[in-house]
Chains A and B, each alone.
Chain A
Amino acid sequence: MAKYLLLKHYRGAPAPVNDVCMDQWTPEEISAHVQYMQDFADRLEKTGEFVDGQALAPEGTWVRYDGEGRPPVTDGPFAETKDLIAGWMVIDVDSYERAVELAGELSAAPGAGGKPIHEWLEVRPFLGASATITE
């Protein structure tokens, strides 16, 4: 049992096979894509493997501390940022192999022409919190 983060990138991942920007798809293709993602999450809920899933707006702000009593400094967004996260799904599965299998399914979401996008997803294991037998 381990949790994995399936990360979807707007930018930063290698180019997918079906590399057509979403704004070039037909509205029906977009609907089919959204439906696929929803069905995927529903299916994982039924198998007892779903933890969380969220999409992120592409535009973010950089924020940092600027010293005692001063408001935080904000900057950006930086258009040139190489890596940009689009969203994530957290799964709780029995093995790394299962995590990879599910990421593979998610990557088959349909895109332009109703064909699978084959987009690259990043699979990252969570660091567990407990350490019972590790001393």
Chain B
Amino acid sequence: MTPEVDENLLRSLTPSVLGILVRRGADFAAAEDAVQDALVEAVRVWPSGPSPGSSGREDPIRDPKGWLVTVAWRRFLDATRADAARRRREDLVDEEPAPGPAPAVDDTLQLYFLCAHPSLTPSSAVALTLRAVGGLTTRQIAQAYLVPETTMAQRISRAKRTVSGVRFDQPGDVATVLRVLYLVFNEGYSGDIDLAAEAIRLTRQLAAAIDHPEVAGLLALMLLHHARRAARTAPDGSLVPLADQDRGRWDTGSIAEGVGILRAALARDRLGEFQAQAAIGALHADAPIPEETDWVQIVEWYDELARLTDSPVVRLNRAVAVGEADGPRAGLAALASLDDSLPRYAAVAAYLHERDGDLTTAARLYAEAALKATNLAERDHLTRQAARLNTRGRS
């Protein structure tokens, strides 16, 4: 037997353990602290295995969830008692866990709703979700977002205060939860924590807790996108565009899973923006070589997406797809109706002009786009594109 703590198992138990404490009557903020303590305690004591003679209920190997609940509840009572002692109100603390009302909705789901509550700012909702649902420590979250641990601790405790008055038994809005998970996924990875993988884990867990086509759509989108990760970056860290990627390095298992989930979701006939985005991802994944990409169908999905979101960014991406389906002139015509101050407008225009053979204009626009890029990899990529056109014939 390897006495290793399975951190994924531990973290997957976080929301249900926290839900049990809240249902027993603990307030969310205190319960969340207690569960974090129990997780830390588990990492500390579990490698040594169960102590001889420990009862089955508290045996971490046989019943990890029961163990966590017991330890977390004790921690909660200790903390509450300490608080109560300070306030000389010890008599108000009930030693025995109250049975609590039967859960109207799944605890895990309620936690997602609470942590993505509309009263929270996006960054607070993200931080709270990663801690209370994901079971990450404040230090891990701080490292992932490159901020000091004290700052992240404050962000989380403020978020907890913000939602302290929110009732735990009210259904929330799935759309707000999906936006939070999408934000986590898009952050990528820095530090020890792979936020994209964590977002997939949390979305998968959400999909198990609620039957909703858009949750499935987001999960499919993440899987299809994540499947290309190894191919998306060159060894030197530079960005590899879709058309230049080594498709042999795409993760076929992840693609198959994403396509399967998407297909089942689309069959429900309740289309949403994540399903539409995933459908576009699936069409890219379906092409063994870039030339076999079904751009006509991709344009149709962008039309759906534009209808669903009315987002100018979608119309910008659509112009690229039109350029592939009907030629660069058609793409430029689609671009002409859009606001040129949109992010990545210049990059799209540069690409279409290059395809149209106007390399001078393309080079100028690539350089302009590089100046407007909001991340390093993208800026370097665009600068390289401009340099490639400016120095052609020289090497």
Tell me the residues in window 35-52 of chain A with beta carbons closer than 8 Å to chain B beta carbons.
45-52
Contact of B225 among A1, A94, A127, A133 (CB under 8 A): A133
Instruction: Contacts A1-B145, A94-B123, A129-B377 given; indicate if A45 touches B150 (C-beta within 8 A).
Output: yes
CB distance from A42 to the nearest CB of B (A): 10
Q: Is the CB of A130 within 8 A of B225?
A: no
Which among B121, B151, B225, B375 has the greatest number of chain A C-beta atoms within 10 A?
B151
Give chain B's interface residues, CB within 8 Å of chain A. Answer: 121-124, 126-127, 145-148, 150-156, 158, 183, 185-190, 196, 225, 228, 232, 239-242, 245, 373-379
Q: Which residue of B lies closest to A93 (CB)?
A: B123
Contacts of B147 in A (CB 8 A): 48, 50-51, 92
Contacts of A127 in B (CB 8 A): 373-376, 379
Q: Is the CB of B151 within 8 A of A45?
A: yes
Instruction: Contacts A130-B375, A134-B239 given; indicate if A51 touches B122 (C-beta within 8 A).
Output: no
Contact of B188 among A49, A52, A131, A135 (CB under 8 A): A131
Q: Is the CB of B190 within 8 A of A45?
A: no
Q: Which residue of A lies closest to B377 (CB)?
A: A131
Q: Is the CB of A1 within 8 A of B375?
A: no
Contacts of B146 in A (CB 8 A): 3, 51, 92
Number of A-B contacts (CB under 8 A): 90
A48 to B190: give the CA distance in the assembly, Å: 19
A132 an interface residue at 8 Å Cβ cutoff? Answer: yes
A128 an interface residue at 8 Å Cβ cutoff? Answer: yes
Tell me the residues in window 1-36 of chain A with beta carbons closer than 8 Å to chain B beta carbons.
1, 3
Q: Which residue of A lies closest to B127 (CB)?
A: A48
Taking A94-B121, A135-B242 as given, write out 11 further A-B residue pairs in contact, using a Cβ cutoff of 8 Å, ordered by the A residue number.
Answer: A1-B123, A1-B126, A45-B151, A48-B154, A51-B146, A92-B147, A127-B375, A127-B379, A128-B375, A133-B186, A135-B245
Q: Which residue of B lies closest to A127 (CB)?
A: B376
A91 to B245: give the CA distance in the assembly, Å: 36
Contacts of B374 in A (CB 8 A): 125, 127-128
A45 to B153: give the CA distance in the assembly, Å: 9
Q: Is the CB of B190 within 8 A of A130?
A: yes
A49 to B150: give the CA distance in the assembly, Å: 10
Contacts of A92 in B (CB 8 A): 123, 145-147, 151
Q: Is the CB of A131 within 8 A of B375?
A: yes
Contacts of A133 in B (CB 8 A): 186, 225
Q: Pull 19 A–B residue pairs with CB atoms less than 8 Å apart, ordered by A.
A: A1-B187, A48-B124, A48-B156, A51-B147, A51-B151, A92-B146, A93-B123, A128-B376, A129-B377, A130-B187, A130-B188, A130-B189, A130-B375, A130-B377, A132-B225, A134-B375, A134-B377, A135-B239, A135-B241
Instruction: Contacts A1-B126, A45-B154 given; indicate if A131 touches B239 (C-beta within 8 A).
Output: yes
A3 to B123: give the CA distance in the assembly, Å: 12
Tell me the residues in window 85-131 of chain A with beta carbons closer than 8 Å to chain B beta carbons.
92-94, 125, 127-131
